[in-house]
Structure 1
């Protein structure tokens, strides 16, 4: 629920921005203590605006905002610094992560643990460690799905509550959860799912899940199918953009 209380010094990232008028923007931001919030940045498009060089995606910010309307007023924005803007595949991956948050998070619903995982994912995207890009995406996808209640327990079969067998293959089904699958069908071994559950339960889940996912190439289609189902689309816009660019 929106509040007229002024919020100051709030850690946040810009997820998306829309034109509101000739000089102003509507921002969708992900804040640590207030979740996804819509803000109006008046005058942000003017060349002289202090907002103009600051309100960029994938950059850590400190914001002040207030108001009692659904779209609140941005009062100030400060770039925290410490990392460069991702480029190339990392930039597209950042836009993909932002699209997931826009589709799956309700407004004004705080998720501080997810915010911390997002900040860690963005740091990986901004680094020069390209080999960590895909594992970082898988880690964030898993943590996002868990945080919004869409990820079943990964150490048991969802329908029967039977324990997983390490050598048996299981698939993640949008409506049925984790279920045994044939050896020649898409899925992961029970040992892999158990490892992922242990990583999610780790006190530092993003790093632990990133490391666990690094050797699991088959995890990507499992999560993609689940995410597309819950986002209600056949292909996410950023995913289609990646495919279009690869075909050029």
Structure 2
């Protein structure tokens, strides 16, 4: 719900920005305590604006805002430091995180735990440890789906509630959840692997434990999570994913 009280010193990330007038911007912002919100940054496009070098994606901010309309007014924004703007594949990966949030999160729906996970993933993306980038993306997909209630239980078959057998193979499908795989399902994981992921996403520090779990099964997880996300987003291919494909084809 919209509020007319002023919010100060709120941890936030800019997900997207739109032109609103010759000098102002509309921002889609992910905040820790208030979820995804829309803010107008008046005068942000002016060369002398203090907002101009700060209101960038993938940069940790503290913001202050107020107003009682659906789009509130940004009062201040302070960069919290820590890393410079990612480039290349890391930048596209960051845009991918943001596209998922913009598509799957309703405005004004609080997700403090998801904000903290996002913060962890952005720090990995912005680091020079490119070897963990894919594991961080799979971790983000799993934990995003869990936090918004779209990830089925990973310790049993969804339709029958039958427990998983450690050596049997299972597949995660959009309309059926976790089911036993057929011989043609090459991307399937064993019951033991799904049980490992189930324990990881339920852990008190899910980012770290899920990142470690995903590292050994990324090739199988990627197509399954992609199909599930596309199904819930209502698209065949996300824009950022298509951009990556187009760039690789050049």
Offset at residue 183 of structure 1 (A): 3.4
Deviation by residue 1:86-117 (Cα, 9 ceiling, x = unmatched): 11101100000000000000000010000000
After the TM superposition, which segments of 4 or more aligned residues of structure 1 sit over 6 Å from their partners? none
For residues 181 and 41 of structure 2, what CA distance do their matches in structure 1 show?
A: 50
Match of 2:243 among 233, 241, 244: 241
Offset at residue 131 of structure 1 (A): 0.7
For residues 8 and 188 of structure 2, what CA distance do their matches in structure 1 show?
A: 46
For residues 104 and 7 of structure 2, what CA distance do their matches in structure 1 show?
A: 24
Q: Show the counterpart of 1:197.
A: 198
Matches within 5 A, 1:52-71: 52-71=52-71
1:47 matches 2:73: no
For residues 71 and 8 of structure 1, what CA distance do their matches in structure 2 show?
A: 16
Offset at residue 60 of structure 1 (A): 0.2
Q: Show the counterpart of 2:13.
A: 13
Deviation by residue 1:165-203 (Cα, 9 ceiling, x = unmatched): 111111111111100011331311111111101111111
Contact 1:169–1:183 at 8 Å: present in 2 too? no
Deviation by residue 1:107-135 (Cα, 9 ceiling, x = unmatched): 00010000000000000000010111000
Q: Show the counterpart of 1:212.
A: 213
For residues 210 and 183 of structure 1, what CA distance do their matches in structure 2 show?
A: 28
Matched positions, count: 248
Q: Show the counterpart of 1:154.
A: 154
For residues 105 and 22 of structure 1, what CA distance do their matches in structure 2 show?
A: 29
For residues 199 and 184 of structure 2, what CA distance do their matches in structure 1 show?
A: 26
Q: Show the counterpart of 2:128.
A: 128
TM-score by length of 2: 0.98
For residues 199 and 45 of structure 1, what CA distance do their matches in structure 2 show?
A: 44
TM-score by length of 1: 0.99
How large is the Cα RMSD of the aligned pairs? 0.7
Q: Show the counterpart of 2:228.
A: 226
Q: Show the counterpart of 1:35.
A: 35
Instruction: Point out where structure 1 has 5 or more consecutive residues left out of the alignment.
Output: none
SS at match of 2:22: coil
